[in-house]
Amino acid sequence: MTSPTLMGSRRFAASTKMRLQLVFARASEALAETYQAQAAEFVRRLKPRLSVDEALQRYFREVGVPVALEETVRARALISLAGLIESGPSQESRTAGWSALRPDQMIDALRKRVQHIEETNLECRLAGSMSDEAVATTHVRMALETAEVLADEITPDEAIMHYVRTFNLSSIDAQVIFRSAMAQWAELHPLPGEARAILAQPHVKPSLELRSRTEFGLRVIV
């Protein structure tokens, strides 16, 4: 993701473009806050295994934080982690001299080290996945705001795609965010007959399957 651009907004009215600028500015700020909160949570989760600096570096490798936001996210995360800066990680002690170990002790130490690395990598992947989910949620929320702003000018699927293209999301992220935003828009704006049908069946459990909505035929192409 790069910084948002309004080059694709020239076809809209001047008042609409100003409202879009406001939405995109809020989106950039919301994303920075989300990345900061998730970076701090990543560090706290990895505290028993990595120092604060090591965990932050690992966070930026695991999560695709936009380059333009990295310094802002790092600074805000460090401020929120001030209480952890003084205390170091409770990592296992490093062996001072490997040559002094017996072969069986060396093999056991190597086995423990490998296990420690594998467990650390797993914790990083889990924490990174939580961050990705939180960032996607923020994108969906701001994509829906974009659709509301453009509701009188273009269809919801076009508006959501406009948001996706503006923030230059990767193809995988774009697909996830587009579908999630479309599904939430459909729930917030049911068809007239669909709304009556839902009210008439209050005890029916909702299906977990995604329903196709032929009203919006635009496909995600990034």
The model's pLDDT over 80-125, given as tens digits with 9 standing for 90+, comes to 998 777 655 455 445 445 556 677 777 877 888 888 889 999 999 9
Residue 116: what are its φ and ψ, rounded to 5°? -60, -45
pLDDT band of residue 4 (cuts 50, 70, 90) is: low
Provide the whole-model pTM. 0.74
Q: Kindly give the residue spans of alpha helices, DSSP state H, lying in 8-102.
A: 14-46, 52-62, 67-80, 82-85
Give the Cα separation of 188 and 88 in Å (integer).
47
What pLDDT is recorded for position 209?
45
